[in-house]
């Protein structure tokens, strides 16, 4: 992946995009390479990093069979359909997100961003996850939020208060970690900050298991599912 291209694109798009929260234009770049699509090759649905029932009892196999097997697959298929036989075929998901944000092609943006966001969400969880971060990540969280507990409270608050569909994120901007909340398909990839962790807040992520109890889903995510190794790798991947 060409990081100079990404830096330039992200900065340019950021400056043209409505401000999101307190995000500043001076930060690092979200270049997390989730897709590596070659020339003209279609985007593929990446395998889950665990079996569909691997997150039980906190997220059921039934939820994952729909969420991954139906919703995520549909976003990837639609992205392929939209770029097929166009100049955009062969671009990575990150490049499609940036390009469609700039051109305000909402249908492509929504499907490419949802394809990217879901892969990132799956990778941020694991069986017997949760608990607390360690090492440099823990230091960065304490430096930015004061304590791990304060981080968890801020993340939970943002997730609970996202009205309707969207995501809550832990992101890095330079040396500072921040909480970010985005609506619908929107993603830090389009805003020049580096995503470290996300929780999907669309009802399809939790309704079968928790119905309207989003707060219980968020607590289960933090207490039992977060893959802190994945978050550390993202922080290190400058």
Question: Interface with Mn ion by CB under 5 A: which residues?
Answer: 200, 202
Residues pairing with 168 in the sheet: 181, 199
How far does Cα 224 stand from its chain's mean position? 19
Shortest distance, position 11 Cβ to Mn ion, whole Å: 28
Shortest distance, position 221 Cβ to Mn ion, whole Å: 13
DSSP helix/strand/coil, 213? coil
Closest CB to Mn ion among 7 and 66?
66
Query: E strands of 115-175, at which residues?
Result: 166-173
Closest CB to Mn ion among 3 and 106?
106
Closest CB to Mn ion among 63 and 173?
63
- Residue 134 and residue 122 in contact, taking contact as beta carbons nearer than 8 Å: no
Closest CB to Mn ion among 64 and 190?
64
Name the residue number minimizing CB distance to Mn ion.
200
Alpha-carbon gap, residue 195 to 215, rounded angstroms: 22
Find the helix or strand (DSSP H, E) in which 183 lies: strand 176-183
Shortest distance, position 72 Cβ to Mn ion, whole Å: 7
Shortest distance, position 175 Cβ to Mn ion, whole Å: 30
DSSP helix/strand/coil, 198? strand
């Amino acid at each position: 992946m060409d990081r100079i291209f990404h830096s330039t694109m992200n900065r340019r798009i950021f400056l043209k995009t409505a401000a999101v929260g307190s995000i500043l234009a001076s930060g690092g770049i979200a270049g997390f390479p989730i897709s590596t699509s070659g020339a003209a090759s279609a985007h593929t649905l990446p395998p889950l990093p665990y079996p569909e029932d691997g997150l039980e009892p906190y997220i059921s196999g039934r939820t994952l069979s729909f969420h991954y097997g139906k919703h995520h697959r549909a976003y990837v298929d639609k992205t392929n359909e939209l770029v097929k036989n166009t100049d955009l075929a062969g671009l990575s998901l990150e490049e499609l997100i940036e390009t469609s944000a700039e051109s305000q092609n909402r249908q492509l943006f929504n499907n490419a961003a949802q394809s990217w966001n879901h892969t990132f969400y799956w990778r941020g969880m694991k069986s017997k996850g949760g608990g607390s971060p360690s090492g440099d990540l823990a230091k960065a969280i304490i430096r930015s939020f004061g304590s791990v507990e304060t981080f968890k409270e801020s993340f939970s608050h943002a997730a609970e208060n996202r009205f309707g569909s969207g995501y809550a994120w832990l992101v890095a901007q330079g040396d500072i970690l921040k909480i970010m909340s985005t609506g619908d398909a929107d993603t830090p990839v389009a805003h020049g900050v580096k995503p470290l962790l996300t929780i999907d807040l669309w009802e399809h992520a939790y309704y079968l298991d928790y119905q309207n109890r989003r707060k219980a889903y968020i607590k289960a995510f933090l207490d039992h599912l977060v893959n802190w190794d994945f978050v550390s790798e993202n922080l290190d991947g400058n």
